[in-house]
Every structure is written in structure tokens, then in C-alpha cells.
Chains A and B, each alone.
Chain A
Amino acid sequence: MTDGEILVEGAQETVDEMVETDVPVMNPHAQVCLQHLLRVWLGFERDLSTVPLLRRLDLGTYTVEDHLCLLRNLRQQVIEGSRWITRTASSFDRNYAEIRSTVIAHAVDEHRDYELLEKDYVASGGQLEDILGMERNVGSEALHGFLMYRASRNNPVDLLGAMWIIEGLGEKMARSWAERIHELTGLGEDSTRFMTYHGHNDGDHMQRFYRTLDDVCVDETTTSSIVKTAQVVARLYRLQLEELNHDVE
């Protein structure tokens, strides 16, 4: 999402990366909303560095045990994720048919992602029953509760803010976590298929996101509700990663 890496790989890539693309012209409310969403994202991404398990990725002390713990805790969120997305789709009336189509497509893309996580867990040396037996951690409870509540309201356009954060994280996992995990743990690519698949998938969503934002974000009230939901989801997602349950029953 916010791929601001410094280029160190060489000049050729610079040329490839700087290919001109069409920048959409959005309405002024959508533009302001995107400015706020960018800041919510950048703050979220920065604060993820304070989460102990993720800090170990930065400091180079992340272990296979850390990886198994992360996967166990992500699974519940991913399972619940497909539920709030489908609930969201059903909460839009016919005046929001376009966004409903987008949300349905999204749900189809991702509603069985948790199966990838289970395979990754086993490939990383974990026991299948351990990941299947995990409960939602404290943060997952809060995040799931909030998302289902918002998704149950009529025409919940504010959930664009939730999609912004969760899709952004998907891309971040692919871009900056997966390779680092291989480097630090010696695990193979089959330990991070969920992360990399998710990232490639999410990369295509940006233009669609701009169009949707331009369609639905046409006043200040909508802007603040989208930004607020992004803020809550960012905080609760971080809580989920802070509240990792380490015990295997």
C-alpha cells in the first residue's frame, strides 16, 4: 500500500518502478479522506514496530516459535474476516449496488484464506490440531466484535476504512515480512504462503479502492466515519498482535 522503499537494488529497477500510471481525479472530500487514511496507515505501520513479536523481526531475533505463534493467532482473525466482509455486503441496499459488488468479489477472493494459514503452520513445523484448536485472542475478540457491529448497520460505507487497513497489512506482510521471516528462521517459502498470496492479491485493489472512495465519500460526515473506522481497526488490529496467546493447549 504505502510502498516507499528506498531503492538500493540498482538503476534498472528504478526505471521499471517509475512507469507512469494514471492517477485518478477524485472529488475533494475523497481526496481529504485519502490524506487522512494515509496518515492513519502510516501511524499504524509505525506503531506495529512497537509490537514485541514484530519488533523481533526488525531486530533480527524472530524465531520459528514466534512464527508459529503469529500464525496461530492470525487464523481466527482471517476466519472472522470472511464473515464481516460477507455481512457487510448484505448490509448494502440497491443504491449501493456498485460497492456491494466490490465487497462480494473481495469476500470470494479471501473467504478460505485461513486454509492457507493452516498449511503454512504445518510446513513451519506446527501440529495441525494446535492451530485448529486456537481461540480468538483478546484483541481478535475486540476487532471481530467491532467489525461485525459496524457491518450490521445499513450501508456501512465506513468499512472502507477497515478494508484500507486490513488490505494494507496484507500487502505489507508480502512486501516486508515474508522474506525477512525466511532469512531469520531458515523456514522455506511454504511457511509464508498466506502472507505472499495475500499481498499479490491485494496489490490489484488500489484503483478499485480509489473509484469506490470517489463514489461514496462525498461529504464530511462520510469522510470522518471512514477515517474513524480506519483508526479503530488499526488500534484493534495492533491490540490483536500485542495480545498474542502463546500457549498451545
Chain B
Amino acid sequence: MSVYITSTGAFLPGPPISTGEVEGILGMVNGQPSSLRVQIQQANKIQTRHYAIDAQQQTTHSNTEMASEAAEQCLDRAFLDRQSVGMLAVASTQGDLPAPGMASMVQANLGLPAIEILTTHGICSSSMMALKAAYNSLLVGDHDAAVVVSSELSSRLLKKQRYEAATESTFAAKRIDFNTEFLRWMLSDGAGALLLQSTPAPKGYSLRIDWVRGFSHAHALPTCMSVGSAGHPGDERTWQDYDSYADAERAGALLLRQEVRLLDNIIRMGVDGYLRLVQEGVSEPAKIDHFLCHYSSHHFRSKILEMLDAAGVGIPEDRWWTNLYTRGNTGAASLFIMLDEFLRTDEVTIKEGDCILCFVPESGRFNTTYMQLTVVKQ
């Protein structure tokens, strides 16, 4: 019994936004240009990205709509009657409604009748969690087809009004608050969808899922990327512990934060998980033809890559592929958007039997997830 990705879809809202245009969309906080924007943008090297808000910071597409658009495209491309879809798994950092789960809303939009649903909650790796659950559902024979969607609308968290309202936050108190601004110039919006089936597509390439594995290190490491706390050392309160949501917002407890100092742990734990899979014999570095990574190689300092080379398990740079620079960092949606374009791009030649290693690290509290795919043809 095998499970195959037989169709993909993606949705990126609005036009591509160049690096210089970003602040015009997200807005200048209190009318002042950011002093960190250029530095952070230069470091992440993203050239264009998309936003589901306009230059007045009004939402143009809901998260549910973007997820549905990607799923519609995926289903339109499939050799399958959509009535045969038995399961819908949806991943996002934050759906439009805190409750119910986002899968309910996406199911309603897609009009898929009486299916099994799953909403996974997390950050970047929530897409892999959803994918693994759907993959397992097919493996045990509960369903023959499942749609997995991941969608992110982070610009609503990053627009100027959020920061202007946080009048008593670390952001308001400091001249430069790197941890609070970091993700503002990193993340953008988009959605991707995959169709999983128990048989390959009758035409074209399908991707057989060889395995999906994840290792979370929250037992040892502190929270690194989060929404819900004001970011003061020793302050244990989270957003719902304030008397009012307005109090929480003023304190900055609703701002998206990254503990930049802790970020290198995600690279280390990513390398550790990869070495673990190699040692278990699950992954064979020499057989990897394509490496799709949620981070680009330039995020890894040369030293750790050099050590992997010295240890005989490095993945040559020409096997890395990403569309991060043109589609933006769309969090959980990134891998699905990447797979969708990877199967269509002229930049890479894909052939039957090719082995694809996918890696999605999540800095939230350090969850690293991996998947191996093999290109097959019916």
C-alpha cells in the first residue's frame, strides 16, 4: 500500500510586491519608516511576495478563501471526481475564526459533503502534521483520497495598526525592537494544496510518499516564535489572562514575536533530525536528487554545511531548490506552494525515480519535519 500526491494547487493573493513596496502595504507605524526593514530584507533575500491586504490594510481575501482557491485549483487539475474525496486536512497558524477549526470553514467553501475533517494548529510545521495525518488515513484504508491544504494570512498580524495599538509594549518602549519587527519583514500570504490518493494519477508524474517524520524539541528549548505574550522576562501571562483584549493588545501580547537569539537552534535541530534519519537508514544522502527546504541554503552558516560535507552526508547546493525568493515566506503554506511550482518549473528536470527530500523546520518551539517523495509515473 502506497500513498501518492497526484495533484497540487497554489494561490497567491494580489500582485507580486517588490521589496521596496512592502512598507507601503503593511504601513508605516505612526507614520515613521522602519529602521530595521532594509537590514532584515537584505538578509532574507526575498525579492517578491504577496499580501491578502491592500495598501489601506483592508483584507482582500480571507484565509478560508485563499485555502479554498488553492484546493479548487488542485481538484480542478486532478483525475478524480471530487465526491471521492474522503478527508480534508487544513493547516494554518491562525484561521479566520479562533473557533471552530479552519477545516470546517474550508469544507463549507468547497462544498465537499460529509467528509472527515482535521484542522492542525501550529506554525510552519502544521502543514506536515496535516499531511501526515491524511497520509496515515489513506495508509490504514479509511479513505482513497484526501485533500491537504495549508494557508497563511500573516499580514493581518503585521499591519501597522497592530503595532500602533501596542502603546505599552516592548515595541513602543524601545527604539529598536528586533524581536518584534523581525517577522514583519519576513512573512507574507498564500496557500497551497495537495491531493493524496492511494493510486498514482493516470497521466503525468505523481509523487509517492515514502515517509514523513518529525522531531519536536519543546521539552528542552524555550519558545522562540509566538503570539500571545508580551515578551517580558518572567511575565507568565498570556493574552487571555488580561482583563480585556484591549489591555492585551496595549501590552503587546497580540504581536507576533521571534526570539532571534534562539533562532539558530532550528538549524541545529534540523541538522540533528537529518543525521538521525541517516543513521536510522531512513534517508540516504547519496540518493537525494532534489532537496526542498523551507529555509534557503544561505540561512545556514557555511560551517555546519561544511561539517556535513566532511561527514560525507552533505547535499550538494545544486540539488537545493526553493521558490522562497519569488513567492515569499508563507509559513506553513511554503512547502505546498514550493511543491506545486517545483512540478511545473523549467528550472529543474524531473524524471521517474527521482528522490525528493522535503524539510520544514518550525521555530515556534523547535519542531523539525521531514518527508521523502519518489517521482513515479503510471
Residue numbers of A with Cβ under 8 A of B are 2-11, 14, 17-19, 21, 23-24, 26, 28, 31-32, 34-36, 38-39, 42-43, 45-47, 49-50, 55, 58-61, 176, 180, 210
CA distance A61 to B232 in the complex (A): 10
**17 A-B pairs (CB sep. < 8 Å):** A3-B304, A5-B264, A8-B178, A9-B43, A26-B312, A32-B311, A32-B312, A35-B275, A38-B271, A38-B272, A39-B279, A42-B275, A46-B220, A46-B269, A49-B265, A59-B222, A59-B233
Residues A46 and B265 in contact in the complex (CB < 8 Å), given A17-B301, A31-B310: yes
Interface pair B311/A3, CB less than 8 Å apart = no
Interface pair B268/A45, CB less than 8 Å apart = yes
Binds A, one of B56-64, B86-94, B255-263, B332-340: B255-263
Interface pair B302/A21, CB less than 8 Å apart = yes
3 nearest interchain CB pairs?
A4-B267, A60-B233, A31-B312
Other-chain contact of A58, B42, B222, B303 (Cβ < 8 Å): B222
CA distance A52 to B269 in the complex (A): 21
Interface pair B301/A34, CB less than 8 Å apart = no
Q: Hey, which chain B residues are within 8 Å of A4, CB to CB?
A: 264, 267-268, 270-271, 300-301, 303-304
Residues A17 and B304 in contact in the complex (CB < 8 Å), given A26-B310, A42-B269: no
Interface pair A39/B300, CB less than 8 Å apart = no
With CB as the reference atom, state the residue of chain A lying closest to B263.
A6
Distance (Å) between the CB of A199 and the closest chain B CB?
13
Q: Hey, which chain A residues are within 8 Å of B263, CB to CB?
A: 5-6, 8
Interface pair B306/A23, CB less than 8 Å apart = yes
Interface pair A2/B271, CB less than 8 Å apart = yes
CA distance A18 to B317 in the complex (A): 12
Distance (Å) between the CB of B273 and the closest chain A CB?
9
Distance (Å) between the CB of B254 and the closest chain A CB?
21
Is B287 close to A, CB under 8 A?
no
Distance (Å) between the CB of A244 and the closest chain B CB?
18
Distance (Å) between the CB of B305 and the closest chain A CB?
9
Is B281 close to A, CB under 8 A?
no
Q: Hey, which chain A residues are within 8 Å of B310, CB to CB?
A: 23-24, 26, 31, 34, 210
Distance (Å) between the CB of B263 and the closest chain A CB?
4
Q: Hey, which chain B residues are within 8 Å of A7, CB to CB?
A: 43, 298-299, 301
Q: Which of B234, B309, B311 has the most CB of A within 10 A?
A: B311
CA distance A3 to B299 in the complex (A): 11
Interface pair A39/B302, CB less than 8 Å apart = no
User: CB within 8 Å of A: which of B15-70?
Assistant: 39-40, 42-43, 45
Q: Hey, which chain B residues are within 8 Å of A210, CB to CB?
A: 310
Q: Hey, which chain A residues are within 8 Å of B303, CB to CB?
A: 2-4
Other-chain contact of A49, B222, B306, B307, B309 (Cβ < 8 Å): B222
CA distance A19 to B77 in the complex (A): 44
Q: Hey, which chain B residues are within 8 Å of A24, CB to CB?
A: 310
